[in-house]
Amino acid sequence: MTKKVDKVQLVDLLSNETTTTGSLHITPSHIIFRSDDGSREIWISTGLIGVIERGSISANGCALTIRCKHFRVISLLVPRDKTCQDLYETLRKIGEVVNVKDLPAFDIRNPQTNSGGWNRLEFSIEFSRQGVSSEWQETDINQNYAICDTYPNRLWVPTNATKNILEGSSKFRSRGRLPVLTFFYKPSSAALCRCAQPLAGFSARCVEDEKLMELIGQANSTNNNICLVDTRPLMNSFVNKVQGKGYEDVRNYNNMQFKSFDIENIHVMRNSQQKLLDACSSGRTITEYLKGIESSGWLKHLKAIVECSLFIAQSLHKGISCVVHCSDGWDRTAQTVAIAQILLDPFFRTIHGLQVLIEKDWLAFGHKFDDRCGHVGALNDEAPKEISPVFTQFLDCVYQVMTQQPRAFQYNERYLIVIHEHVYSCQYGTFLGNCESDRKDLSLSKRTNSLWTELDTRQDDFLNPFYEPFAFNEILDLDTRSSNFSVWSSLYNRFDLAAHPRENMYDSLMNSMEHVGVLESHIAAMRMKIAELRGLSASMIDSGLSSTEGVDDKLVLESPSSKESVAESELELVDDHLGRRVIRWQRLNEVYNCSSKRCMAEFSSNVERKIHCHNCGKIFCRRCVDMTSDESERICLDCAKRNQ
């Protein structure tokens, strides 16, 4: 299905005036707006369609607003009421996917030749890297997802835990999610385990579960104490007791202390984010903005998540093993254990390490990406209630940590924003499905592309120039006072260019470093050429003419004019080499579109990196530049063609 509507007007949301007239193209995978003069082209994956709003008709046309899941808002004026209604119904139908197999990821037009992204996590390799002690072992008790269909196929448990203990604990935990290892902190031999709430009610207990908790504590020979972290507000946990669930009675568990945190549920977080987005919308006064941010409670929620994560990290650092759960163990639990590992382990602060962490604690341990991101289930009345920005909050918390410790991370905020976009875009299979078993049933590794493989080709876009890899090997120190939490405007106001500096600090520094490197390489090449010319000149003076040449030729070569002509011809080669290099590069804040006349892609946000051609010094989008065959230079396609 392909649909085209002409004479559509794109409205500038800042000035609320019509700025561009063009055509709207709707395909199964993308919505495309293309201006009539070719100056603007906007592509939006259909997976990013959030809310479609149809306004009233006016003299200028009928208003249609597309609110996207990556926080872009497209406001259009459609010439006729009937055309607008048709567009509205078409876009709603595209955005309301019922079958996961209808998502764009399954329509692969360019299959990846390298499928390494699907093998990013191997539990045995990862736990070996962590240095897991002999007190822990791999078990196949969940083979074919026998005791828990939302857990990984292979689990790590205390060595002395028998099959009866594991099965008994699984039956006592919500969704069968028994306590299992997710991280081993080698410096103190403390373990971080995760699970779901117990089915305890007001009086129920489970001997097998109590024994498993005891074995988790005993797995650390230096400290048998264990801390049970319930991420939910205590009142919420108590309400769950009425439903036969709730929290552990520490009187039944040996050497256990209990700690509760006030991280709210998915419904509160969904409403909080909507209030945040309303506050960040254009046209508000400073007073309205600040009141909106405060009433949203978003920063308060981030603070609660980070404080809980810091407590877990500090406990492990002190040698106290922790078991963490919320209700079902796939939302708040995933957030806090993942942030705690980032605080403790420098590996998870690298580009590759963050991918492993997401694969482990979000994908393998069953965060429900389909439900939480609204990938599918639009015809189910309960589906909208399952949507919640849980993973967005996790990325926001990582960003908050990065702002306090900018030199501790290999990646920059662009990396987090790109991951966030593609969680929702559904162009890759990485974040489809609710758990590992879902992804196997869908054969995603064979039928879709991996986001990680794509990001591997763009690693230079995500590098942090301030990164010091060996300076932060201990637990990261954080200040969790409220004043240290701020709105992540690069994400929530990503497409509002007026809200950002004209030059991104990271990009400016990386650009300067790259430019210096190119100039130094150029200087080195010139020095080599000068040395060659000096050697040629000395050779001509010292040796005169070859013995095979005649006297007349010798006279010609020894004449001053002849020597000068030879030198001039060599210098012309140097000049030609210089002529293909521009010393001054275009400034980042002076360019708004790709310099390729065939492309002219708009840099609609700071996430789209502006890339310089090492040859002509102009700025291009990533699609219009490539590396030379020897990987030494990045040049635009036009210069590459001229140099052939």
Q: How far apart are CA 604 and CA 286, in angstroms?
A: 24
Q: What does the mean pLDDT of the chain come to?
A: 88
Short-list 577, 569, 459, 568, CA closest to 521:
577
Q: With the C-alpha atoms ordered 105, 73, 486, 405, is the resulting torsion angle positive or negative?
A: positive
pLDDT, residue 128, reads 97
Strand 619-620 vs strand 49-58: parallel, antiparallel, or unpaired? unpaired
Q: With the C-alpha atoms ordered 500, 595, 416, 128, is the resulting torsion angle positive or negative?
A: negative
- Band of residue 498 on the pLDDT scale cut at 50, 70, 90: low
Whether 326 is catalytic: yes
Q: What is the token pair recorded at 337?
A: 């254990």
Q: Please enumerate, as own/partner, the contacts of 52-55 that have beta carbons within 8 Å and a separation of 24 or more.
A: 52/88, 52/91, 52/92, 52/95, 54/84, 54/85, 54/88
Q: What is the token pair recorded at 113?
A: 């030749």
Short-list 35, 11, 10, 38, CA closest to 23:
35
Burial tier of 618 (Cβ tally within 10 Å: 0-12, 13-18, 19+): buried
pLDDT, residue 90, reads 92
Residues 13-36 have pLDDT tens digits of 765 556 789 999 998 889 999 988
Residues 415-443 have pLDDT tens digits of 999 999 999 999 999 999 999 999 999 99
What are the beta bridge partners of residue 17?
Answer: 12
Q: How far apart are CA 520 and CA 530, in angstroms?
A: 15
Q: Which domains does the chain have, with CATH numbers?
A: 3-95 (2.30.29.30), 124-456+479-500 (no CATH), 506-643 (3.30.40.10)
Q: Bigger pLDDT: 567 or 589?
A: 589
Q: How far apart are CA 53 and CA 72, in angstroms?
A: 14
pLDDT at 551 over 50: no
Token pair 């709730």: residue? 246
Percentage of residues of the chain with pLDDT beyond 90: 61
Helix, strand and coil in the chain, % to nearest 5 = 45, 15, 35
pLDDT at 540 over 50: yes
Residue 226 is inside which H or E element, if any?
strand 226-230
Residues 364-416 have pLDDT tens digits of 999 999 999 999 876 567 788 999 999 999 999 999 999 999 999 999 999 99
What are the beta bridge partners of residue 158?
Answer: 136
351-358 and 413-425 helices cross at what angle (nearest 10)? 40
Q: How far is CA 64 from the centre of its chain?
A: 30
- Band of residue 600 on the pLDDT scale cut at 50, 70, 90: confident
- Band of residue 520 on the pLDDT scale cut at 50, 70, 90: confident
Residues 95-147 have pLDDT tens digits of 888 899 999 999 876 777 667 899 999 999 999 999 999 999 999 999 999 99
Q: What is the token pair recorded at 579?
A: 């002529």
Q: How many CB atoms lie within 10 A of CB 555?
A: 11
Q: How far apart are CA 555 and CA 563, in angstroms?
A: 11
pLDDT at 558 over 70: no
> At residue 89, what are phi and psi to the nearest 5 degrees?
-70, -40
- Four-CA torsion 193, 198, 202, 205, nearest 10 degrees: -80
Catalytic option among 68, 195, 308, 326: 326
- Band of residue 183 on the pLDDT scale cut at 50, 70, 90: very high
Alpha helices in 442-601 (DSSP H): 444-447, 451-456, 489-492, 505-543, 551-558, 560-579
Are the C-beta atoms of 360 and 126 separated by less than 8 Å? yes
pLDDT, residue 446, reads 92
pTM, rounded to two decimals: 0.88
pLDDT, residue 599, reads 84
Question: How confident is the model over 53-61, as a mean pLDDT?
Answer: 85
Token pair 């080669």: residue? 573
Question: How confident is the model over 61-75, as a mean pLDDT?
Answer: 93
Q: What is the token pair recorded at 325?
A: 């759960």
Measured distance between the N- and C-terminal CA atoms of the chain, rounded to whole angstroms: 41
Among 55-64, 206-215, 577-586, where is mean pLDDT lowest? 577-586
Phi-psi region of 449 (alpha: psi -120 to 50; beta: other; left: phi over 0): beta
Question: How confident is the model over 495-516, as a mean pLDDT?
Answer: 72
pLDDT, residue 547, reads 44
Q: With the C-alpha atoms ordered 125, 127, 132, 135, is the resulting torsion angle positive or negative?
A: negative
pLDDT, residue 221, reads 87
pLDDT at 577 over 60: no
Are the C-beta atoms of 163 and 141 separated by less than 8 Å? yes
Short-list 492, 185, 228, CA closest to 345:
185
Question: How confident is the model over 163-185, as a mean pLDDT?
Answer: 97
Percentage of residues of the chain with pLDDT beyond 70: 89
- Band of residue 325 on the pLDDT scale cut at 50, 70, 90: very high
pLDDT, residue 308, reads 98
Q: How far apart are CA 212 and CA 164, in angstroms?
A: 10
Q: What is the token pair recorded at 202?
A: 């007001």
pLDDT, residue 501, reads 59
> Who's near 87: CB < 8 A, 6+ residues apart?
3, 5, 24, 26, 64, 78
> Who's near 472: CB < 8 A, 6+ residues apart?
346, 349, 405, 407, 408
Q: How far apart are CA 392 and CA 335, in angstroms?
A: 10
pLDDT at 38 over 70: yes
Residues 219-264 have pLDDT tens digits of 998 999 999 999 999 888 888 887 788 889 889 999 999 999 999 9
Name residue 230's amino acid.
D
Q: With the C-alpha atoms ordered 501, 505, 506, 510, is the resulting torsion angle positive or negative?
A: positive
Among 17-21, 174-178, 387-391, 444-448, where is mean pLDDT lowest? 17-21
C-alpha radius of gyration, the chain, whole number: 30
Name the DSSP letter for residue 585.
Answer: P
Q: What is the token pair recorded at 478?
A: 């954080």
Q: How far apart are CA 188 and CA 221, in angstroms?
A: 10
Q: Bigger pLDDT: 300 or 95?
A: 300
pLDDT, residue 500, reads 60
- Band of residue 515 on the pLDDT scale cut at 50, 70, 90: confident
